[in-house]
Amino acid sequence: MLYQNADDKVAELSRLIVDSYIQEDQRIVDDQARAELLSRGSPLGGAFGLPSAQQLAQHMESGITLSAIDLNAVPALNDSLNPDWGSGDFTMEFEWEPIVFAISDDGESVVTLLKLEVYGATFREAVYSVDGVYTHGDDGESQSARHYFSNGVLRQVFGFTGEEGVGAPREITPSTGDTFTVLNSWWDLDDRGNLADTVSLQGGTLTFRDAMFTWEELDAAPGTYVVGFVVQDLDNNAYEAFDVVVVE
């Protein structure tokens, strides 16, 4: 723990991290494993051949940042970000506008659901994700991927070894000509109108060009929409309230 005499321990911990997680990393000293590590998403994995173990270690060391955090300040920080709802009942209201979101490659747009991943102190800091299938333009290889957006712009892309966002994630650096096919979730209802099953189907496809993807707001098409709240407490208990809204 670094909560006491943090300055005296940071240098020692830094050396330990570099030695155990970088210098002794078997992916660095093994040529085949190093090539696989660099095959996707690293600026060292380009057209200059396989870097040496020392070159890769130096590159990874440059990205390490350590911070000494005063844990006693965390409760006050949480209080500043989470409103005090009080102990009694209250009424929450939200004015819903008939808009939907789409992601754009500066040429085509695909309507999709932006899934909230991280609440920010402001709406500009919130992080949303979109799942789909990422296809590399150079070799045609496809993999399950998740795109993370914040403040209207794509910030990160992670690919997965398994399907539908499972397996070990690895960050992808998009290249011109790569494509992303959105996965949309559809509800199957039974005869009584209750949710029976949820299925994922491929939607539209976007292509990486000179600029990153962005999101845009569109007017919702006429039809029936389900609008509601999902409230989660600090014990991870979720409470839901939904209603049906008709857009004409």
CA distance 222 to 226: 13
3-class DSSP assignment, residue 130: strand
What's the whole-number mean pLDDT along residues 75-99?
A: 79
**DSSP character at residue 108:** -
Long-range (24+ apart) CB contacts under 8 A made by 154-159 are 154/103, 154/212, 154/213, 154/214, 155/127, 159/40, 159/134
Backbone region of residue 99 per phi and psi (left: phi > 0; alpha: psi in -120 to 50; beta: other values): beta
CA distance 150 to 230: 21
Per-residue pLDDT band for 129 (boundaries 50, 70, 90) equals very high
What's the whole-number mean pLDDT along residues 121-133?
A: 89
What's this model's pTM, rounded to 2 decimal places?
0.63
Per-residue pLDDT band for 1 (boundaries 50, 70, 90) equals very low
What's the whole-number mean pLDDT along residues 7-23?
A: 65
For the cut 70, the answer to whether the pLDDT of residue 59 exceeds it is no
Per-residue pLDDT band for 158 (boundaries 50, 70, 90) equals very high
Share of the chain above pLDDT 90, in %: 28
Picking from 139, 113, 133, 97, the residue whose alpha carbon sits closest to that of residue 205 is 133
Partner residues linked to 175 by β-bridges: none
- 67-71, 94-98, 243-247: which has the minimum mean pLDDT? 67-71
- 19-28, 197-206, 214-223: which has the minimum mean pLDDT? 19-28
pLDDT for position 32: 77
Which of the two residues, 111 and 189, has the higher pLDDT score?
Answer: 111
Locate the domains of the chain by residue range.
6-61, 99-247
pLDDT for position 2: 47
Q: Best-predicted range by mean pLDDT among 150-159, 183-192, 221-230?
A: 150-159
Residues composing the chain? 248
CA distance 207 to 228: 33
- 16-20, 148-152, 199-203, 223-227: which has the minimum mean pLDDT? 16-20
Could you tell me how many helices (H) and strands (E) the chain has, helices first?
Answer: 5, 12
pLDDT for position 38: 66
Which sign does the torsion angle of CA 204, 154, 81, 78 carry? positive
Strands (E), the chain: 99-104, 109-111, 115-118, 127-135, 142-150, 153-160, 169-171, 179-189, 195-207, 214-219, 223-232, 238-247
For the cut 70, the answer to whether the pLDDT of residue 43 exceeds it is no
Which of the two residues, 239 and 148, has the higher pLDDT score?
Answer: 148
